[in-house]
Structure 1
Amino acid sequence: MTFDYLVLGTSDLKGLNILDIGATLFFFILLLFLLKKVAWGPLMGIMIQREELIASEIEAAENSRQESVRLLEEQRDLLKEARTEALAIVENAKKQGEASREEIMTTARSEAVRLKESAIREIDTEKERAIAAVREEVVSLSVLAASKVLEKEVSEEDNRALIEATIAKAGEVK
């Protein structure tokens, strides 16, 4: 076997057939055209669809991420607001407790003053009763003593008037 056909000389160029070259070129171009229509076009269509799908998924993911960030910020704001409200409620409860304490203390003080004044009035009333009772007893004893001293019976009304006048003068002198 010889490899003469591999080495082309100038004399062998005559053996090339232009018709074969043209037919080969025509079929190659036809094959490229058919591949473009049948394989390349649908393949590129699928690639474009895939690219659009990936782009839409990336956009949806970005939108979802932005929505998550927005919701996270919203939740943080709500949590901050809830903490502020809780602190306000606690502060309000403290103020109400302090106001209630002050009200109870004021009520207790006024009740103590009222009880003290009532006790003083009661003591004064009892003192007046005791003084009246002592006067009555002194008057009776004085009448009895005076009647024994005088050995005569003076009317009880005269004696009583005389003794009360004496006691009244003695009370004024004090």
Structure 2
Amino acid sequence: MSLHWENFVFAIVAFAALYFLLNKYAFGPLLGVMEERRKLIAGQIESAEKNRLEADRLLAEQQKALQDVRGEAREIIELAKASSKKQSESIIEQAKEEAARLKDGALRDIEDEKNKAISALRSQVSAMSVMIASKIIEKQVDEKSQSQLVEQYLKEAGSKQ
């Protein structure tokens, strides 16, 4: 096989023309599309990174807000406990005061009733004494009759009460 230089030159010219045409019409637009695709992917990666950073920031804010709310809830619970304790102590104190007032009133009522009973007993005793004295005066009796008469009047007085 012999090498023909005309074929060699024709092949080189054909290759150069093909390369020129492919470079102008195929490789340029293909490389342009690939560059646009690279830029689009790089933009999406950058956007995704920004979104991730924003999501991390929002998550941190939400966690801080949640901690703040939990702290406030604890404070409210503590205030409610303190308030209920204070209120229960106040109710107990009022109940003690009311019990003491009722006790004092009952003691006064008992003392009044006692005084009335003593007064009534005194008036009955004095009335009985007068009645016994008048009966004794009406009857001049001996000592035995007198003691029977006193016992009879005491029995009568006992049955009246």
Q: TM-score, normalised by structure 1?
A: 0.67
Q: Residue 109 in 1 paired to residue 96 in 2?
A: yes
- Amino acid paired to 2:86: A
**Equivalent of 1:57, from 41, 44, 48?**
44
Once the two structures are TM-superposed, the CA of residue 29 in structure 1 deviates from its matched residue by 4.2
Once the two structures are TM-superposed, the CA of residue 27 in structure 1 deviates from its matched residue by 4.8
Say which one has the larger Rg: 1
**Who is 2:113 aligned against?**
126
Q: Kindly indicate whether structure 1 or structure 2 has the higher relative contact order, using CA contacts under 8 Å at least 6 residues apart.
A: 2
- Amino acid paired to 1:119: A
**Who is 1:31 aligned against?**
18
- Amino acid paired to 1:72: L
Q: Distance in 2 between matches of 1:136 and 1:56?
A: 117
Percent identity between the aligned chains?
45
Q: Residue 73 in 1 paired to residue 60 in 2?
A: yes
Q: How does 1:128-167 map to 2 (within 5 A)?
A: 128-148=115-135
Q: Distance in 1 between matches of 2:34 and 2:106?
A: 105
Figure out how many residues of one structure are paired with residues of the other and give that number: 138
- Amino acid paired to 2:129: S
**Equivalent of 1:40, from 23, 27, 31?**
27
Q: TM-score, normalised by structure 2?
A: 0.72
Once the two structures are TM-superposed, the CA of residue 84 in structure 1 deviates from its matched residue by 1.2
Q: Distance in 2 between matches of 1:98 and 1:106?
A: 12
Question: Deviations for 1:93-136, whole angstroms, at most 9, x for unmatched residues?
Answer: 21122022112101110111111111111011101101111211
Once the two structures are TM-superposed, the CA of residue 149 in structure 1 deviates from its matched residue by 5.5
Once the two structures are TM-superposed, the CA of residue 144 in structure 1 deviates from its matched residue by 2.3
Q: Residue 93 in 1 paired to residue 80 in 2?
A: yes
Unaligned runs of 5+ in 1: 7-14, 152-174
- Amino acid paired to 1:142: S
